[in-house]
Amino acid sequence: MQTTTQAPSTLRKVPTLSLAAYTHGTQDEKVKFIEQLFTGIKDYGFIILKDHDVPAELLAEAYQILEKFYKLPEKQKLSYISERGGGQRGYTAFGKEHAKGAEVKDLKEFWHVGREVEPGHEFEKYYPPNIWPDDSVPEFRPVFEKLFNQLEKAGIQMMEALSYPLGVEKDFFTNMVVEGNSILRLLHYPPIPEGVDPRCVRAAAHEDINFITILPAATTSGLQLKDRDGTWLDIESDYGTLIVDAGDMLARITNDVIPSTTHRVINPQDGKNTSRYSMPFFMHPHPEAVLSCLESCKGSGAKYADISSHEFLMQRLREIGLVK
């Protein structure tokens, strides 16, 4: 469960919304959800989602499997690194990734599960095959394939809801994210090692690359967002809820009407130097989708040139040290 370590002086609190109000509510409830989602993600960059269809027991099982996997010997974990590079699939070792512009590495290791398509599919060249630790943790694949699909479903519902205030067709975003290059990242933040560079943190301040990120509440606290006034706010959420934030791709096509929100994972406080597990789902459009400013957001003019989502992704992966 995410918990607050120190109450911010502003007492601002990230709003909690019921996804069921959008998917199964009355017309008035649906309209209210859309308004609150748009306002929340604009004003804070984050919202917390309850009453979704991702089963609590699936999340609990997933965290148990992560704990089991990350206890494997280092040599065995290293055997699951993708030969295609870039960390798009399989294991990425501790200390590999850094925030954009950071001089030191983040204190984390992680695994990526991505989309798979049939041989001959137009996007096959973009999507490496997944890697699975079937020999050591056979339950890993079925659980995380299911979690990927469940989180994607919730993401599609939220992107559809955002289509109304942004003045595009209901299926505008759905058409971009179906068969998109979305990634489920399975993170382990180990206890902080002795003698580590004091500048290193679990995840340095950064913005996500994608449209939206859907993050099941992690096993321990530490997630903070940078409020619009520059204050760092602790993210409070109950176990089983989903934390949602806006990424760079959404900021780009909305001309920063929905800004990408800076956030970080701080090191353990109060001497509780224990492992932290986290499972963010990064919702991406398909690789050939063009990130172009929406007409409703142009104002006095588009700030950013059109670029394909694949080009933008590769640019950002180079900036964070995963692609050379």
DSSP state of 24: T
Token pair in block for residue 163:
């289509």
102 band by pLDDT with thresholds 50, 70 and 90: confident
The model's pTM is 0.91
Token pair in block for residue 305:
């040139």
Q: State residue 18's pLDDT score.
A: 97
> Which residues lie closer than 8 Å to 128 by C-beta, 6 or more apart?
82, 84, 88, 89, 114
Whole-angstrom distance, CA of residue 140 vs CA of residue 150: 16
Whole-angstrom distance, CA of residue 198 vs CA of residue 188: 19
Token pair in block for residue 47:
């919202």
Q: State mean pLDDT over 125-142.
A: 95
Token pair in block for residue 21:
């109000």
Q: State residue 86's pLDDT score.
A: 66
- How many domains, the chain? 1
SS3 315: helix
What share of the chain in percent tops pLDDT 70?
94
Residue 139 placed within a domain = yes
Residue 229 placed within a domain = yes
Better-predicted residue by pLDDT, 1 or 156: 156
2 band by pLDDT with thresholds 50, 70 and 90: very low
Residue 128 placed within a domain = yes
Residue 9 placed within a domain = no
| pLDDT tens per residue across span 158-203 | 999 999 999 999 999 999 999 999 999 999 998 887 877 778 888 8
Specify the range with the lowest mean pLDDT, choosing from 38-52, 84-98, 184-198: 84-98
Please report, for the domain that includes residue 73, its CATH number: 2.60.120.330
Residue 3 placed within a domain = no
DSSP state of 298: -
Residue 66 structural domain: 16-319
Token pair in block for residue 100:
């954009």
Whole-angstrom distance, CA of residue 21 vs CA of residue 32: 8
Residue 272 placed within a domain = yes
Residue 4 placed within a domain = no
